[in-house]
Structure 1
Amino acid sequence: MSYTDGPRPKRGRAVLWGSVAVAAVALAATAIHLTGALAAGPTETTNAAQTLPAAATGTDTGTPLASPSAPKPTGAKPSAKSPPKAPPQQPTSKGGWVPVDKTVWQQQVAAYQSRKVDPVPAGVADIAEFRADCTYSHRLADDPIVFPGLAGASHMHSFFGNKAVDADTTAGDLTKFTATTCKPVVDHSSYWVPTLYDAATKKPVEPKGFRVYYRSIRNNSTGMMPIPTGLRMIAGDAKKRVATPRGAHGQFYCAFYGPGDLDGVARSSNGNWPICDPNSYATLHYMLQYPDCWDGKHLDSPDHKQHVAYGNDKGCPADHPVRIPSLTFDITYPVKGTSAGYYLSSDPTGRTASSMHGDAFLMWDADAMNKRTKNCVLQRRQCDNDGYEH
């Protein structure tokens, strides 16, 4: 068996979207939450709170591993676990900076700069983005960014993309064990979010759609560079505990086909979760946006955020000068909402949506990343999973 064709062994431990309308509505919702939030100057200290809904700031800490690991011995397949009644006691991890390999980065830059753009077919929209569409892979109480090597140290996460990811995963693993739930398959990255649970049944609710946009979130793509292989970062705040009533930033909302109320026609009994129109196709939805500037020096930082920052239409902050595509997680859950509502594994007690967050451990084939960044984001043309969308 080749581990590139399936999940790698584990160590010691027992949609595509149905309609373009959904994406359009999701983008509209993002615009509602982000209106007026991208005006910070390029040299000021910018952070998620200035640019995003309230759910997009965070304080998770940990030390990612920088070097590849040896193949892992066979172990039991991960199994779904019931959520804890309270967040598990999380061990303290020593924070640290993970430097980029300068030679590897320079090689990627040289290849990117020498690449010519491909001819654009007629009818391609002037939207600066490409994307990956992923399905649910597995669920573990692991976080290889925040708690590397510490199996079970995290709250429960739902993983998408690379099928081999657990607490021990390193950048080298992502290039070696490449089976993925994403299209295109040249995206070997892993993406994960806290698991959502039905408050009445305490059963997990896994997304039916998980799209990752890579895009320019500005009115130009000047100086756009590809994302370096091995970059990892977090958006959102797993420790945030504030109510998410109707109209709140960072709330879940109702995605729908055609007219409808993004905030839902009703709310859960605690007011934190929308209830979507039962007579529509609306279901619960969440969008999470990442920074678009990188310091050019580190693949990770002690809080998994300091090495990246938000820029603006004029460019990036002086201490984060490399402009890169911004990720947006666009997540659809197959539920309409209930009076009992839901809770995230990161906040089973407060049962708000404010602790929603996402982790991205990025490992694309370098040439594929270069090609898409140049054709789609730098040139400001809309691409789907495989290239120009037409």
Structure 2
Amino acid sequence: MSYTSFREPEASPPPSRPGLLRRLARDRRSMAASVAAVVIVVAAAVVYLADAATKPEVSNAANALVDTPPSAAQAEALGASPSASVSASVTPSAAATASAATAPKIPRTGWVPVDNTAWKAQVSAYNALKVDPVPAGVGNLPEFRADCQYSHSLPDDPIVAPGLPGASHMHSFVGNKAVDANTVAEDLTKFTATSCKPVQDHSAYWVPTLYDNATGKPVETTGFRVYYRSHMSNSTGQMPMPNGLRMITGDAKKKKPTPRGATGQFYCAFYGPGDLDGIARSTNGNWPICGGDATLHFMMQFPDCWDGKHLDSPNHKDHVAYGAGNTCPRSHPVKIPAITFDIRYGAKGTPAGYYLSSDKEGKSASSMHGDAFVMWDVDTMNKRTKNCVLQRRTCDNYGYQK
């Protein structure tokens, strides 16, 4: 799409009307500015629409499980070309080119193809990597982790509502400190200040903000551990995470009560014996009241299988899947570490209870959900996955847990 430049009319007013001359000059400047603004807005819309990829063909065997990892399907996934791409022959005018250079980046949505060159390079480096010797006493839990602290809060969601600041309910972010509605993968590698350890984890993680129902004040996380682990009994075919992978778990629209014993509820964490459901409940029954030294916690698990082709999908879930029977489905043959959020809050519970920003009216915990925008130093991700998850050895933030 191209745009023609605006041309001023050649007629000039009579010389006996100096006031009209000045007004016409002002009107011309105003009209030129308005046209320039229209060009900028239209150019931004072109960028946004060009980035909206269409949904590719998806295997009907999405839920079909196999007994052993499908090596042929996995090999195809590891070398697959992007199944969704946008091609156009566009010769923008100078005005459109200039406006595109100054317009903010709009994150891509829909089916976002993996950078196949970068992924192949990561796979090659991972396959060539030798494991480090395991010190005596290291456990056999196949996992590594990042320990994070609360960073900031914004009504933004660069996965669900990219490029739309203020369009989301309030989220509490940990990890990359520069994240907002306009964040794209390249930003996570450029702005690497983080609230996580190790600092080689440039990822962003976020959940809906928790509020005290009695005061309306936020209750922020006091600890946020992100595990990367295997939930399967073997690590055959285990691969690292691709950078730029985006996914969510949970359902922000779910608004069911969470009484004692319900799934998807907050629980009381004890270092020793104790009642996970709390010694009492809030008046509405949805929130535990913890005894002793216990405080509120929440855990959530992300999928551990990937289609090998896309970094995101329209619902932010279809490009990943949960494994079963110690293997991945044919539609998602690449075995990746399962992210697990272990979230601690500095609160014990009260009769008034709490509410999430995603369900202020219902005041249940069922709308709790999590977002992960993965970005690690590639060498660190490869080494942790091979040493810890593939070898099935327990690691902490920095390597083997001694």
TM-score bracket for the superposition, by shorter chain length: 0.7 to 0.9
Please give the secondary structure, in 2, of the residue aligned with 1:208: strand
Residue deviations 1:120-173 (CA, integer Å, cap 9, x gap): 000000110000000000000000001111000000000000000000000000
Q: Would the alpha carbon gap of residues 314 and 189 (structure 1) be closer, same or farther in structure 2, given more than 3 Å must change? A: same
1:288 aligns with 2:300: yes
In the other structure, the counterpart of 2:65 is: 42
List alignment gaps of at least 5 residues for structure 1: 1-39, 45-68, 74-92
Displacement of 1:42? 2.1
Residue deviations 1:253-280 (CA, integer Å, cap 9, x gap): 0001211000001000000000001xx1
Q: Which amino acid aligns with 2:224?
A: F
In the other structure, the counterpart of 1:234 is: 248
Q: Which aligned pairs between 1:24-63 and structure 2 lie closer than 5 A?
A: 42=65
In the other structure, the counterpart of 1:343 is: 355
In the other structure, the counterpart of 1:152 is: 166
In the other structure, the counterpart of 1:84 is: none
- Asked if the contact 1:41–1:311 (Cα under 8 Å) also holds between the matched residues in 2, the reply is no
Residue deviations 1:217-255 (CA, integer Å, cap 9, x gap): 111111100000100100000000100000000000000
User: What is the distance in 2 between the residues matched to 1:326 and 1:72?
Assistant: 36
> CA RMSD for the aligned pairs?
1.9
User: What is the distance in 2 between the residues matched to 1:330 and 1:204?
Assistant: 19
Q: Which amino acid aligns with 1:118?
A: D
Larger relative contact order (Cα-Cα within 8 Å, sequence gap ≥ 6): 1
1:302 aligns with 2:302: no
Residue deviations 1:336-379 (CA, integer Å, cap 9, x gap): 00000000000000000000000000000111000000000000
Displacement of 1:314? 3.5
Displacement of 1:317? 0.4
Q: Which amino acid aligns with 2:65?
A: P
User: What is the distance in 2 between the residues matched to 1:297 and 1:108?
Assistant: 14
Which structure is larger by alpha-carbon Rg, 1 or 2? Answer: 2
User: What is the distance in 1 between the residues matched to 2:358 and 2:326?
Assistant: 36
Q: Which aligned pairs between 1:1-390 and structure 2 lie closer than 5 A?
A: 42=65, 96-277=110-291, 280-390=292-402
- Asked if the contact 1:343–1:351 (Cα under 8 Å) also holds between the matched residues in 2, the reply is yes
User: What is the distance in 1 between the residues matched to 2:182 and 2:243?
Assistant: 18
- Asked if the contact 1:41–1:314 (Cα under 8 Å) also holds between the matched residues in 2, the reply is no
Displacement of 1:311? 0.8
Q: Would the alpha carbon gap of residues 352 and 70 (structure 1) be closer, same or farther in structure 2, given more than 3 Å must change? A: farther
Paired residues, what number?
306
List alignment gaps of at least 5 residues for structure 2: 1-62, 68-99
Q: Would the alpha carbon gap of residues 94 and 227 (structure 1) be closer, same or farther in structure 2, given more than 3 Å must change? A: closer
- Asked if the contact 1:140–1:156 (Cα under 8 Å) also holds between the matched residues in 2, the reply is yes
- Asked if the contact 1:220–1:313 (Cα under 8 Å) also holds between the matched residues in 2, the reply is no
Residue deviations 1:156-212 (CA, integer Å, cap 9, x gap): 000000000000000000000000000000000000000000000000000100000
Residue deviations 1:88-113 (CA, integer Å, cap 9, x gap): xxxxx995100001110000000000
Percent of aligned positions that are identical: 73
User: What is the distance in 1 between the residues matched to 2:234 and 2:366?
Assistant: 31
- Asked if the contact 2:146–2:196 (Cα under 8 Å) also holds between the matched residues in 1, the reply is yes
User: What is the distance in 1 between the residues matched to 2:157 and 2:244?
Assistant: 15
Please give the secondary structure, in 1, of the residue aligned with 2:221: coil
Q: Which amino acid aligns with 1:334?
A: G
User: What is the distance in 2 between the residues matched to 1:70 and 1:386?
Assistant: 40
Q: Which amino acid aligns with 2:201?
A: D
- Asked if the contact 2:286–2:363 (Cα under 8 Å) also holds between the matched residues in 1, the reply is yes
Q: Which amino acid aligns with 1:297?
A: K
- Asked if the contact 2:109–2:312 (Cα under 8 Å) also holds between the matched residues in 1, the reply is no
Q: Would the alpha carbon gap of residues 258 and 247 (structure 1) be closer, same or farther in structure 2, given more than 3 Å must change? A: same
Q: Would the alpha carbon gap of residues 246 and 72 (structure 1) be closer, same or farther in structure 2, given more than 3 Å must change? A: farther
Displacement of 1:313? 3.5
- Asked if the contact 1:165–1:190 (Cα under 8 Å) also holds between the matched residues in 2, the reply is yes
Please give the secondary structure, in 2, of the residue aligned with 1:371: helix
Residue deviations 1:284-318 (CA, integer Å, cap 9, x gap): 00000000000000000000000000112431000
Please give the secondary structure, in 1, of the residue aligned with 2:151: strand
Q: Would the alpha carbon gap of residues 133 and 94 (structure 1) be closer, same or farther in structure 2, given more than 3 Å must change? A: closer
Please give the secondary structure, in 1, of the residue aligned with 2:174: strand
In the other structure, the counterpart of 1:10 is: none
Q: Which amino acid aligns with 1:374?
A: K
Please give the secondary structure, in 1, of the residue aligned with 2:121: helix
Q: Would the alpha carbon gap of residues 71 and 343 (structure 1) be closer, same or farther in structure 2, given more than 3 Å must change? A: farther
Give the TM-score of the pair, scaled to structure 2. 0.74
**4+ runs of 1 displaced by more than 3 Å?**
69-73
Displacement of 1:333? 0.4
